[in-house]
Amino acid sequence: MATLYLASTPIGNLGDITLRALEIFKSVRVVAAEDTRVTRKLLSHYGIHCRLISYNEHSPPSRLDEILSVLQDQDVVYATDAGAPGISDPGMTLVATALEKGIKVTPLPGASALTTAIMGSGFPANRFLFLGFLPRGSKERAEALAQATTTPYTIVLFEAPHRLVKTLQDLLNALGDRQIVVAREMTKIHEEFRRSHISQEIEYWSKTEPRGEYTLVIAPSAALQEAGQDEQSLSVYLDRIEEGVRAGKKAKDIIKQIATQTGISRNLLYRAWLDHLQNINQDKKS
């Protein structure tokens, strides 16, 4: 059985393709591409000509079967429009299915908007939370943002231009006015890394028409980092709320005070407090 190669492609500058990826592209007769027009432009730039099969989120199930059929006796390269296959693109389904069929899968490392944005952000990158594109559904979107509020790490996500301002507003509501880097046109002539606060970016992009794909890198909450670098990072504030309640104070007043002093979102503290109470009740029942 043949090999499915996952080729990372340039995110803007065609010179960022690796020598290994070019060698593999030259060696195969079939390339599956998220957008055949984009991939044809890249391959033509390097004098490579082969059969291209379109494979994206709109492809019928028969297209996946067609690629798997080719893989029975010859290698295939899968390439996305830009960056690393399988990260916020339909490549995940292809890879998972190929592995289930016992087909060898070989990643070809290279350019990635995710790592490029983190590299240029100046924020801690030893650990980070990657959210991809936020869900469009209100419930799923709220759940993703709730996950982001509790992490003490750098947060990274992708966004399309027509949803940029709304996403920035949602981030402000969920995380507070944190530092942020808005990256666009990375590796291109007009590469831009805007470094400011979320509220400032909302103001700027409300007046400036967003263009191109965006990678947003949000700084960790200083308060969460100080509280600890693990899942118990809010425990110091929960203890403070609990002590205040025992002294006869209202939890919402204590939460408001902590939020004002630390910059942590009141919604985050309130949700953490409710979870804390639920855990206490469960312990009592057991």
- The CATH number of whichever domain residue 29 belongs to comes to 3.40.1010.10
Q: Is 200 helix (H, G, I), strand (E, B) or coil?
A: helix
State both tokens at 193.
Answer: 């890394």
CA distance 29 to 70: 10
190, exposed or middle or buried, with CB in 10 Å at 0-12, 13-18, 19+? Answer: exposed
Full domain range(s) for residue 239 = 231-285
- When pLDDT is cut at 50, 70 and 90, the band that residue 226 belongs to is low
Residue range 105-150, pLDDT digits in tens = 999 999 999 999 999 999 999 889 999 999 999 889 988 888 888 7
CA distance 53 to 45: 19
Indicate the residue among 169, 191, 220 that finishes a domain.
220
Residue range 228-277, pLDDT digits in tens = 544 455 777 888 899 999 999 999 999 988 887 776 778 878 888 887 78
Residues 124 and 215 in one domain: yes
Residue 171 belongs to domain with CATH number: 3.30.950.10
Indicate the residue among 63, 83, 111 that finishes a domain.
111
Residues 74 and 136 in one domain: no
Q: Which pTM value belongs to this model?
A: 0.77
CA distance 36 to 165: 30
Residue range 186-206, pLDDT digits in tens = 999 999 999 999 999 999 999
What is the tally of structural domains in the chain? Answer: 3
On whether residue 176 sits in a domain, the answer given is yes
Q: How much is the pLDDT for 183?
A: 98
On whether residue 226 sits in a domain, the answer given is no
Indicate the residue among 197, 220, 243 that finishes a domain.
220
On whether residue 225 sits in a domain, the answer given is no
Residue range 1-54, pLDDT digits in tens = 799 999 999 999 999 999 999 999 999 999 999 999 999 999 999 999 999 999
On whether residue 126 sits in a domain, the answer given is yes
Residues 73 and 132 in one domain: no
On whether residue 199 sits in a domain, the answer given is yes
Residues 87 and 102 in one domain: yes
- When pLDDT is cut at 50, 70 and 90, the band that residue 285 belongs to is low
Strands of the sheet with 76-79, listed across from one edge: 51-54, 30-33, 76-79, 3-7, 104-108
Q: How much is the pLDDT for 277?
A: 85
